[in-house]
Amino acid sequence: MTEGATLAQVSGHLVFGHHDHDLFGRRSFVFPMELVEAPWTKGLIGICRKCGEKIQEADALPENPCVQAKAQAKKMLQEKGEWGAKRVILTDCLDICPEGKVSVMRVVPGQAVQVSTIDSLDLLGDLFQQ
């Protein structure tokens, strides 16, 4: 966090902001970000792009396999009519870095964030079924 930054609870949400002083020298809390509802109400899968880059390099693949897996998962969700409420995104490094595997995170509203590794990107669809 930046100097003077803090977390505050507003309407049950933790928000990032910082303390500032108004014209009269009183301390006030400033919210630089707007709270919005996430469009993915049923789930979000994050795939580590960097894991895919390592596999791409090791296997001399023409494209990052995580990019392909994201596109395939999106198509599957669209065919089921679930795209929008469920999403798949690429993330930066999740700091797990499994050898020859891919780190993924699963976010479902109302549940703890799950971070795991998978051997095959074909298993992405299974993550939404859990």
Extended strands (E) in the chain:
5-10, 13-21, 27-30, 43-48, 86-91, 102-107, 114-118
Which tens digit of pLDDT belongs to each residue from 69-128?
A: 899 889 989 999 999 999 999 999 988 888 888 999 998 888 888 888 888 777 776 776
Domain extents in the chain = 1-35, 43-129
68: which residues sit within 8 A by CB, 6+ positions away?
Answer: 121
**Tokens 């509203």, residue located:** 109
Report field, pTM of the whole predicted structure over 0.75: no
Q: Render pLDDT for 98-112 as a digit per residue (tens, 0 to 9).
A: 888 899 999 888 888
| Mean pLDDT across the chain | 78
